[in-house]
Amino acid sequence: GCIILGVGIYLKVSKDGNSITEQYLPSFELMIAIGVIIMVLGFLGCCGAYRENRCMLLVFFVLLLIIFALLLAAGILAAVEEEWVEEKLKELKPLASQPQNVKDDLEKLQRELKCCGLTEGPIEWQPIPPSCRCNATAPAADKCVAGIYQEPCIGKITGYMKNHMEVSLGIAFAIAIILIFGMVFSMLLFCQIGKKAGNTV
C-alpha cells in the first residue's frame, strides 16, 4: 500500500500536465486512493491475524477480492480503449473552435511528437502554428516538407497514450499479484484459526 501510494504521488507530481492526454489516461488520483485503501486494509488484516479474529480476516479477504475484480475490469477496459480514444480525439475538430488552453496543449504535443494537426495534417490549422514548422535538416521519418510537418498527430498521440497505459497496466498487474497473495494468506489464516478453535472445543 505504501509503495502504491508513493508511486501514485510521484507520477502525479512528475506528469506533464497536458489536458489532452490526461483526460484519457488512468487517473493517478485513483492510484493514490488505491494505495491508501490497501494500507487501511493491510492494517485490518494485521489486526485480524494478531487477534486471531476470523470475522476481520473474512472482511479483509472480501474487500481484497472486490479491489481485485475492479482492477481486472479496469485492465480489460484499458485494453480495448484505443479506438475510443481516437474517436474522442476526433471530437476536438475543428481545431480553431477549441479553447486556447486546448490549442496550447496540442501545440506542445506537436513539438514533442513532430507532427501537425489531428487527422488531416497542416490543413486543419489556419494559420499554421510555429509548432508545425520544421527545418530542412529534419530526418526523412519526420515527414518535413517545405518547412512543415505533414504527418497528422492522431497516430502518435494514441501511441504516446498506449505507452503510458502500459506502465499503468504493469503497476496494476503488480498490485493484482500482491492482492492474490493477501487473499491466499488471509484465507489460510482464517481456516487455521477455525481448526484451532475446533480442536480447543
Higher pLDDT, 23 or 72: 72
User: pTM of the prediction?
Assistant: 0.59
Cα(78)–Cα(137) distance, rounded to whole angstroms? 38
| 74 and 171 belong to one structural domain | yes
| 58 and 107 belong to one structural domain | no
- Give the dihedral sign, CA 50/52/53/56: positive
| 35 and 14 belong to one structural domain | yes
Cα(122)–Cα(2) distance, rounded to whole angstroms? 46
Cα(118)–Cα(176) distance, rounded to whole angstroms? 36
3-state secondary structure of 144: strand
pLDDT in tens, 4-54: 777 777 766 665 556 666 655 555 667 777 778 888 888 888 887 788 788
| 106 and 137 belong to one structural domain | yes
Residue 92 has pLDDT above 70, yes or no: yes
- What per-residue confidence (pLDDT) applies to 49? 79
Helix (H) or strand (E) holding 99, with range, is: none
| CA 193 and chain centroid, separation | 39
Residue 142 has pLDDT above 70, yes or no: no
Least reliable range by pLDDT among 25-34, 102-111, 115-124: 25-34
| 112 and 148 belong to one structural domain | yes
How many separate domains does the chain show? 2
Higher pLDDT, 139 or 96: 96
The residue behind cell 486494509 is 41
Axis-axis angle for helices 2-14, 154-200 (nearest 10) = 160
Domain hosting residue 122, numbered range:
95-153
| Cell numbers representing residue 174 in the block | 503488480
| 77 and 170 belong to one structural domain | yes
Distances (CA, A) of 46 to 67, 186, 194: 18, 10, 17
Cα(154)–Cα(118) distance, rounded to whole angstroms? 5
| 171 and 121 belong to one structural domain | no
pLDDT in tens, 147-190: 888 888 888 877 777 776 667 677 777 878 888 888 888 888 88
In a domain, 189, yes or no: yes
In a domain, 87, yes or no: no
- Tell me if 41 sits within 8 A of 58, measured CB to CB: no
| 21 and 76 belong to one structural domain | yes
